[in-house]
Amino acid sequence: MTVREDLAPYLAPTWFVDCDHPAVVGHAAAVVAGACSDAERATRLFYAVRDEVRYDPYLVGDDPATYRASAVLARRRAYCIPKAVLLTALGRAAGVPSRLGFADVRNHLASTKLLALMGTDVFAFHGFVEFWLSGRWVKATPAFNVELCERFGVRPLEFDGAHDSLFHQFSVDGRQHMEYLRERGSFADLPFELIMDTFVTLYGPNFAGAATGREPDELFDVSAQVVPPPQ
């Protein structure tokens, strides 16, 4: 006997995944206009969040309001967890069952400045999204925008609505980048308190705001930079 999964929680709004917010609803509708399938809708939304919201690892904070999907959409700058929250909300607004997934990863190309700030190369609760497509959950990570990847020699993650797109495993020159360490699970809403408690344990009680004044230029080892060709 096949047990059908209850998808209702993955289409419903929550405080963080405010897929019923007018701005979220309107943006989702604009991005998926004319799409003919859930896979196409999910794919369009993935690229919209990946590239229209700039990745910034120095915006980690403990204010829950900054993690709401509508707030992320308005700011257009965030790190992986808020970007995943936004993509989840947009998916739900477009009628695609969507939920949050998390895992711990090790970043082998992190800059010395970022490592000094964090005190470790382990990134806890790296956020991604799981879409219900063709009867199964398909994973997608919208974290790094394409301009950032091109600048630092990291292959941008692509998504086709059929295959998992999880981690940047290698840089363009073949060096290892992201290493999967531990799965944290899947959630209908953002487990905010659990994430904050974990961050305090791993990174210290003053993690929020510790990166004030820094720029995402310091995300990767500068040796990974790609010099753009002359125009």
Give the Å distances, CA to CA, from 1 to 136, 145, 146, 181: 17, 43, 44, 34
What pLDDT is stored for residue 223 in this prediction? 35
* Chain segment 25-48, per-residue pLDDT in tens: 999 999 999 999 999 999 999 999
Domains annotated for the chain, with CATH where assigned, are: 8-224 (3.10.620)
Residue 91 CA from chain centroid, whole number: 13
Which positions ≥6 away from 105 have C-beta within 8 Å? 122, 123, 126, 167, 178, 179, 180, 181
Question: In the predicted model, is pLDDT for residue 57 greater than 90?
Answer: no
DSSP code for 151: H
191 sits in the region (left: phi over 0; alpha: psi -120 to 50; else beta) called beta
pLDDT of residue 217: 47
Percentage of residues in the chain having pLDDT higher than 90: 56
The per-residue pLDDT of the chain, averaged, comes to 83
Structure-block tokens of residue 132? 């219900």
* Residue of 127, 47, 45, 146 whose CA lies nearest to 89: 45
**Burial of 156 from C-beta contacts in 10 A (0-12 / 13-18 / 19+):** middle
**169 compared with 4, residue with greater pLDDT:** 4
As a dihedral over the C-alpha atoms of residue 212, residue 100, residue 146, residue 121, rounded to 10 degrees, the angle is 50
CB 168 within 8 A of CB 157: yes
The pLDDT value given to residue 140: 96
β-pairing verdict for 122-133 and 98-107: antiparallel
pLDDT confidence of residue 112 = 67
